[in-house]
């Protein structure tokens, strides 16, 4: 069987941890599996390099940043290769370029265009294990990086290209839980989850897997496993196609996102085209708008509410200045949280939403905005109630152990 094993920053964070990773790799090797390894930089390294650059310039040249940041993954891949060879496992480290990761030329946020896996396939034939530096590729002879968390993307892209049976993503948590176990102690680890549910959960704050990598896994049909390098005997969570999940639970998990701001615009002139103009401008400025709600117009005026990520509040305010006349009454509320109920089975079951609303009502929590999709119900509530809300929702759907 062919496996891509990806180890994150914490898993690679120290000499001891790298030895531990090498032990996991050896156990698969001993079974006779073909293995390609992808690694992140040692934990904290990417941030350390960014802050070093920022001590010289507030806006350093992006191409230079890519040269700088890509070094983090090169260090960890070389160290792991040295360690494996010393244990008698033939391995060789590969930069993104030698692994054939070709990208567009958007430095620091490059997209993978294609993969030339000739080197990787050749090494597997020669029984030499490729240890690929994640997070990087090349364009026009220059090194590029794929955006934060991009090593997951490298792993999935390679798994798709060589048609690996599995792509295992090792971090310091042992899988995907029904909700954040720090909030709800009896949260349960999921055995399986579909790509779409995982996307909803990762977009909404369960930061175990990078969203883009889940999207790519869905597109390339790469079976993912999220597991921990510190508990290698735990099975982890498999992320796979909806059709592969035999018993589809009505609700799989509860996500919470405390990093959203509600933008409320009151008494907007109720005429065709206004919403189009506002949201086109926001989109042009790269602001990711969510949960748009417009109330029924009264006396030619209407209210418009939506949420944006906290990190984009400054840009949003600047953008909204374009609509000074149309939006005289506007406020920004940071004291909100978005809690979401996610599950495939919602498609075919009724009463899922009403249960959520009842649970929150019984806990005395007021819902400010509701939005739904086929597999998700999201609700905006006051931030100080978010823990209570997650607990109530987790309980009502009996998700705990």
Quote the CA–CA distance of 251 and 395 in Å, as a whole number. 11
CB neighbour list of residue 191: distance below 8 Å, 6 or more residues apart: 235, 237, 238
Taking the C-alpha atoms of residue 3 and residue 163, their distance in angstroms, rounded to an integer, is 9
Under rule CB under 6 A, residue 135 binds ligand ASP? yes
Read off φ and ψ for residue 294, nearest 5 degrees: -120, 135
- Asked if 77 is part of the footprint of ligand ASP (rule: CB under 6 A), the reply reads no
Piece of 147-155, 199-207, 245-253, 309-317 that binds ligand ASP (CB under 6 A): 147-155
Q: What angle do CA 156, 152, 222 make, to 5 degrees?
A: 25
CA 325 to chain centre: 38
Judged by CB under 5 A, which of 4, 8, 76, 360 binds Mg ion? 8
* Burial label, 155 (beta-carbon count in 10 A; 0-12, 13-18, 19+): buried
The region of 89-97, 104-112, 145-153, 224-232 touching ligand ASP under the rule CB under 6 A is 145-153
10, 71, 151, 337: which one contacts ligand ASP (CB under 6 A)?
Answer: 151
Task: Pick from 13, 72, 134, 149 the residue near Mg ion by CB under 5 A.
Answer: 149
In the list Mg ion, ligand ASP, none, the entry touching 150 (Cβ below 5 to 8 angstroms by class) is: ligand ASP
**Contact with ligand ASP (CB under 6 A) among 13, 150, 160, 236:** 150
Question: What does DSSP assign to residue 157?
Answer: H
Strand order in the sheet with 142-145: 112-115, 101-103, 136-139, 142-145
> Rg of the Cα trace of the chain?
23
Nearer residue to Mg ion within complex by CB, 212 or 262? 212
Q: Quote the least distance from Cβ 114 to ligand ASP, whole Å.
A: 20
Q: Which two tokens stand for residue 211?
A: 């969203």
Q: Which stretch binds Mg ion (CB under 5 A): 5-13, 61-69, 135-143, 317-325?
A: 5-13
Tell me which stretch binds Mg ion (CB under 5 A): 115-123, 146-154, 308-316, 327-335.
Answer: 146-154
Q: Please report whether residue 13 would count as binding Mg ion according to CB under 5 A.
A: no
Taking the complex as a whole, the smallest distance from the CB of residue 42 to ligand ASP amounts, in Å, to 9
Q: Which residues bind ligand ASP (CB under 6 A)?
A: 9, 40-41, 46, 72, 134-135, 148-152
């Amino acid at each position: 069987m062919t496996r891509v094993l990806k180890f994150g920053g914490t898993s690679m964070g120290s000499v001891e941890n790298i030895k531990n990773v090498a032990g996991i790799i050896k156990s698969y090797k001993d079974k006779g599996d073909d293995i390609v390894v992808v690694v992140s930089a040692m934990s904290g390294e990417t941030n350390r390099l960014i802050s070093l650059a920022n001590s010289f310039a507030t806006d350093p040249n992006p191409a230079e940043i890519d040269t700088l940041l890509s070094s983090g993954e090169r260090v960890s891949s070389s160290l792991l290769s040295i360690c494996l060879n010393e244990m008698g496992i033939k391995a060789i480290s590969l930069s993104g370029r030698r692994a054939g990761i070709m990208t567009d030329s958007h430095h620091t946020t490059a997209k993978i265009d294609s993969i030339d896996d000739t080197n990787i396939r050749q090494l597997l034939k020669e029984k030499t294990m490729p240890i690929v530096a994640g997070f990087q590729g090349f364009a026009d002879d220059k090194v590029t990086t794929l955006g934060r968390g991009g090593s997951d993307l490298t792993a999935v892209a390679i798994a798709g290209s060589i048609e690996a049976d599995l792509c295992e993503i090792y971090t310091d948590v042992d899988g995907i839980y029904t909700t954040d176990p720090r909030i709800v102690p009896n949260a349960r680890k999921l055995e399986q989850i579909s790509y779409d549910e995982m996307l909803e959960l990762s977009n909404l704050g369960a930061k175990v897997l990078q969203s883009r990598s889940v999207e790519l896994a869905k597109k390339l049909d790469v079976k993912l496993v999220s597991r921990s390098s510190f508990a290698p005997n735990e099975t982890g969570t498999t992320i796979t196609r909806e059709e592969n999940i035999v018993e589809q639970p009505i609700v799989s998990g509860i996500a919470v996102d405390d990093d959203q701001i509600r933008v409320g615009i009151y008494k907007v002139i109720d005429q065709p085209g206004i919403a189009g103009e506002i949201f086109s401008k926001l989109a042009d400025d790269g602001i990711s708008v969510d949960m748009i709600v417009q109330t029924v117009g009264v006396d030619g005026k209407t209210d418009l509410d939506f949420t944006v990520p906290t990190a984009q509040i400054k840009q949003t305010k600047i953008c909204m200045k374009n609509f000074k006349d149309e939006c005289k009454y506007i406020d920004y509320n940071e004291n909100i949280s978005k809690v979401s109920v996610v599950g495939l089975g919602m498609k075919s079951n009724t009463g899922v939403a009403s249960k959520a609303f009842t649970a929150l009502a019984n806990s005395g929590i007021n819902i400010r905005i509701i939005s739904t999709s086929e597999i998700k119900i999201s609700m905006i509530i006051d931030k100080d109630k978010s823990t209570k809300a997650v607990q109530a929702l987790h309980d009502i759907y009996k998700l705990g152990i």
